[in-house]
Amino acid sequence: MPSEAEPVQARPQSEDEGVGLREAQHELFGVTLAGLRWARASDPEFPGSVGKRGTEFLYRLSELRHWARNRPAPRGDVCRGVPRS
């Protein structure tokens, strides 16, 4: 019987360490895994990968943080993860 995959635990990351999108979502406030995957496929400003771990592409955390900081504010009642007053 196959065992279930263990969830990725959030841990402090070095700025230049390669991280997968699943790990990065824990380090980036207000960005979901689905949002990261969409941006990777659709956003020309999304950082390029720096390597692979198995089939998973790896990205520099510092570049992902820079991208997240400079992305447009989302539409709706939430602005970068903080409800509007």
| CATH code assigned at 43 | 1.10.10
Q: Does a structural domain hold residue 7?
A: no
pLDDT value of position 7: 52
| Token duo for residue 13 | 């990351």
User: At residue 68, does pLDDT exceed 60?
Assistant: yes
Helix (H, G, I), strand (E, B) or coil at 26: helix
Q: Does a structural domain hold residue 38?
A: yes
| CB-CB neighbours of 64 under 10 Å | 24
Among residues 68, 67, 55, which one has the least CA distance to residue 20? 55
* Domain range for 42: 18-71
Q: Does a structural domain hold residue 3?
A: no
Q: Does a structural domain hold residue 24?
A: yes
On the CB side of 2, how many CA atoms lie within 13 Å of its CA?
3
pLDDT value of position 57: 95
Cβ neighbours for 51, distance < 8 A, ≥ 6 positions apart: 18, 57, 58
User: At residue 76, does pLDDT exceed 80?
Assistant: no
- Reported as a single tens digit per residue, the pLDDT across 3-62 is 455 455 555 456 677 999 999 999 998 899 999 999 999 999 999 999 999 999 999 999
Number of compact structural domains in the chain: 1
